[in-house]
Amino acid sequence: MFEVLETLVLTVLIFFGIQTFVAQPFKVQQGSMENTLIPEQYVLVDKLSPRWDPYSYADIIVFTPPESWSQGDVPFIKRVIGLGGDTVELRDGLVYINGVKLDEPYIYPGNGGIQQQTFPAPGGSTRWVVPDGSLFVMGDHRENSADSRNFGTIELSRVVGRAWLRYWPFDTFEILPVPTHPELATPAP
């Protein structure tokens, strides 16, 4: 009996240790990341690697939204658009980072299969400077996303981790693609 109890206690401790410090499952509950992620899919959120591998452009992250945008205890899932020190601008439906037009192949196609444009929130800003220790995030379904255009940048302390694996439903199992942004590697003209 003692061995069974010891095994159960150890199993519970390992489970909670992994979920607290290494990886956590997350259920997508909003439509803001379509078609990359759709509601009812499950992803695995990596909490460990961001300790030595900082978040970068196009990472998909799970975070606790600002209190003014909170939907109970439901975390948000969005894509990193701007990093600390960046200037993010919206011009003519496009996103510019430090004056360079961002190539965004992941944006949800709108009516007729044409990529949605990115507009500011009604009456909102079109330019943000991302403070150090913060991120600027947007959903891939730009017309259906409450994101940094609405609530501003988010502090790194609010980030749960990086979504990296979609595992349910099983027929959608894959490591989530994170496109590179070579256009941001060179200084703006």
CA separation for the pair 189, 182 (Å, rounded): 15
CA separation for the pair 140, 38 (Å, rounded): 11
Torsions phi, psi for 83 (to 5 deg): -110, 165
Torsion angle (degrees, nearest 10) of CA 155, 159, 165, 168: -120
Question: How are beta strands 159-168 and 42-46 bridged, if at all?
Answer: antiparallel
DSSP assignments along 48-111, one per residue = SGGGTS---TT-EEEEPPPGGG-BTTB-EEEEEEE-TT-EEEEETTEEEETTEEPP-TTSPB-G
- Which amino acids are annotated catalytic? 32, 78
